[in-house]
Amino acid sequence: MQGSMNNPSLIVHTPTSEKTKGGHKMKRIEISMLFALVFCAVVSFLALNGEYDQVRDSVLRLHILANSDSLYDQELKLKVRDALQAEVDEVFGGCENLEQAIFAAESNADTLRRTAEETLRASGCDYSVKISVEPTMFDTRTYDGITLPAGEYTALRVEIGEAKGRNWWCVMFPAMCVTGRDGRQELDAVLTDGQVSLLEADGYDIRFRCVEWYEAVCEWLGI
């Protein structure tokens, strides 16, 4: 008996060692489940952002930069906004997609610039106006129950004077921000029902916050 107790090759399995093995097995299962959940979440998010990419590729934003933050310059900005929105039907009336809207905006850039300048002159202001169509980063914005996710959009950019004041933005095509227009109905013309439903968020949806983080990281990485 004494010899067997001193024999180093003799291994005695105790309940404690079995419990330890069981604990390690459960830990591996939990880690595997966690990785599976993370994988599913990433795949779902990428699919969601893919839908949002199609939204970004379907609308033309309007981005107006005021000369400064003075009350006078901010009021001028809104007057220019109203004047340009009055041109929506004439400029974008026959457009069916973003490509056509971009072509229309670029073709009518001089006309839109003159409209903005005439509006300023009528208010006794001689600021210059620069109009361009270019990619622009936007934060998440909600217009009458429709939330557009953060990200890079093509925008009709209007710079008034030094363009150092607070800006104003909305959607030029489709004309969902024009007074009297139904934003949902305007979007229905260029998006699927499923895509429009994704934009109808009740309050500040966590989905849009996640998209903001994702877009911010991509911009920082230069992706």
**3-class state of residue 135 by DSSP:** strand
pLDDT score at 47: 47
**3-class state of residue 188 by DSSP:** helix
For 170-191, what is each residue's pLDDT tens digit?
888 998 877 667 777 888 888 8
Average pLDDT over residues 187-213: 68
The token duo for 212 is: 């903001």
Strand positions, DSSP E, the chain: 60-65, 129-138, 141-143, 146-148, 151-160, 167-173
Q: Which residue has the higher pLDDT, 17 or 136?
A: 136
Cβ–Cβ < 8 Å for 205, 150: no
Local confidence band at 107 (pLDDT 50, 70, 90 cut-offs): very high
For 29-44, what is each residue's pLDDT tens digit?
666 556 555 544 444 5
- Report the alpha-carbon angle 36-38-44, nearest 5: 100
Percentage of the chain exceeding pLDDT 90: 42
User: Which value, in Å, is the radius of gyration of the alpha carbons in the chain?
Assistant: 29
pLDDT score at 28: 67
According to DSSP, residue 149 is labeled P
pLDDT score at 192: 78
Average pLDDT over residues 3-11: 52
Does the pLDDT value for residue 223 go beyond 50?
yes
Of 39, 100, 43, 57, give the one whose Cα is nearest residue 195. 57
For 59-106, what is each residue's pLDDT tens digit?
999 999 999 999 999 999 999 999 999 999 899 988 999 999 999 999
pLDDT score at 186: 81
146 contacts: CB under 8 Å, gap ≥ 6: 176, 183, 184, 187, 196, 199, 200
- State how far the Cα of 208 lies from the Cα of 147, in Å rounded to an integer: 8
pLDDT score at 145: 77
Average pLDDT over residues 49-65: 85
CA 16, 21, 22, 27 dihedral sign is: positive
Local confidence band at 126 (pLDDT 50, 70, 90 cut-offs): very high
pLDDT score at 46: 47
pLDDT score at 142: 81
Does the pLDDT value for residue 211 go beyond 80?
no
